[in-house]
Structure 1
Amino acid sequence: MRTGIVLGLGLLVVSSVGAIAADAKRPAPATYPTSSQPSLLSEFRIGFSAQDPWGPEGKDGSANLTGEILFAKPFTASDLFTSYFIPRPHIGGSVNFDGRTSFAYAGLTWTIDITPNLFVEGSIGGAIHNGDKDVVGINVHRQALGCSPLFRESGSVGVRLSANWSVMATIEHLSNAGACSENRGLTNIGARVGYTF
């Protein structure tokens, strides 16, 4: 059942990327002057991830639906290099399909272009979760996370398919950094599709 869900989500992302690539080949519509007022939202992302594949929560395979909103940079820089140091605030969440740890998070994201189409990202922030905080003797599918909130870090490698669409591979880690007695944390890996406004 869980394998079917993961495969179904994988097919959904792959078919979305195919549709986006097909749209990217169509000629661009005529553009008209728009308001110069800056937008609050920068990007929306959705995807899936494997839940802690190297730990107890990943036994037998377990998947998450993930979503994230990135907001516009609070200010702009006059040159491209300096702009890389200005982060975009973000909020997001991860819902586990098997009743294991789900979480919501917020933080800052830095995006660096390697080429016009290839980019890397790093983010840091905090997360709140519904997981176990202490050791649970009989529940072999839950990880003791020690406390809530936790620190959350992530890294991504992405490809821009068009001016608006991108696809990326992401790894994220949640941990309390030794602030509580239990501190194994969670590490999830996955793929996401992004739409830039």
Structure 2
Amino acid sequence: MRSLISRLSLVLALLLAAAPAAQAQFNFLPEVRAGISARGVDGGGNLLDPNRIGDANVELLFTAPDLNAWTVIGELRPHLGATMSFRGQDSYGYAGLSWTFQAPILPVFVEASAGGVVRSSMFNAPQNDPARNFGCGVGVRVAGSVGVNLPLGASLIGTVEHLPDFGACGPTRANTNVGMRLGFRF
């Protein structure tokens, strides 16, 4: 009996000793992205005008191992991000899922994202203002990106995002933004 307890204790000690090493192999936050964007590009005008740039963006992409059972067709990751306006427009936070497909040989990837968005108007607009309506203050965000992998785990990413309001704010005023971001994989 004493031998059995000793063996079980030894096995338990080895498992506990191996747990931190296994946990260290799991990277919860494998990528961070940051960049700038131009807002309201669907309104016309010169898309390449630097005066249109008015937002800064940061996005965190997380690992969820159970979501990547189908890695043959891409990588599915939860994301959390924020876009801050430095031109007095709404800032917003967003969360959702991103699906990334890496080209087989080339250092190029495409990505599609969908999720929800919460705009700053949800909190700072006056009471009974349409900006507090669902679809206006809280809504949907969809995005598409094309990126190029650079050395040392970096990437350069061009992104188009669309934030529709479905007419919840009065006349429909969907917002389409274009930006460039730099990503870093850890």
Query: Following TM superposition, by how much is the alpha carbon of 1:146 offset from its aligned partner in structure 2, in angstroms?
Result: 5.6
Q: Match of 1:195, SS? A: strand
Closer/same/farther in 2, CA of residues 89 and 146 from structure 1, 3 Å limit: closer
**Number of the residue aligned with 1:70:** 61
2:32 aligns with one of 34, 44, 57? 44
Alpha-carbon separation, structure 2, partners of 1:182 and 1:134: 11
171-180 vs 43-52, which moves further? 171-180
**RMSD over equivalenced CA pairs, Å:** 2.9
Q: How does 1:165-180 map to 2 (within 5 A)?
A: 165-178=154-167
TM-score, normalised via structure 2 length:
0.70
Q: Distance in 1 between matches of 2:115 and 2:171?
A: 20
Task: Supply the distance in 1 between the matched residues of 2:97 and 2:137 (Cα, whole angstroms).
Answer: 19
Check conservation: 2:146, 2:157, Cα contact below 8 A: yes
1:94 aligns with 2:69: no
Contact 2:159-2:178 within 8 A present in 1 as well: yes
Which of 134, 154, 157 is matched with 2:146 structurally? 157
User: Is 2:36–2:53's contact at 8 Å kept on the other side of the alignment?
Assistant: no
Higher helix share: 2
Q: CA separation in 2, counterparts of 1:170 and 1:63?
A: 15
Q: Which of structures 1 and 2 has the bigger CA Rg?
A: 2
Rounded Cα–Cα distance in structure 1 between residues aligned with 2:71 and 2:138: 34
Gaps of 5+ in 1: 1-33, 136-143
Please state how far the C-alpha of 1:145 moved relative to its aligned partner: 9.3
Task: Quote the residue 2:100 is aligned against.
Answer: 111
Q: Any conservation in 2 of the 1:62–1:96 contact (CA below 8 Å)? A: no
2:115 to 97, 100, 125: 125
Q: Give the TM-score, by structure 1 length.
A: 0.67
Preserved CA contact (<8 Å) 2:35 2:180 = yes
Gapped regions of structure 2 (runs ≥ 5): 1-19
Partner of 1:8: none
Moved over 6 A (4+): none
Q: 2:52 matched to which residue of 1?
A: 61
CA contact (8 A) 2:79 2:97 kept: yes
Counting aligned pairs with the same residue, the percent is 37
Q: How many Å separate the matches in 2 of 1:146 and 1:125?
A: 13
AA of the residue aligned to 2:117: A
How many residues end up aligned between the 2 structures?
151
Are 2:117 and 2:138, in contact at CA under 8 Å, matched by a contact in 1? yes
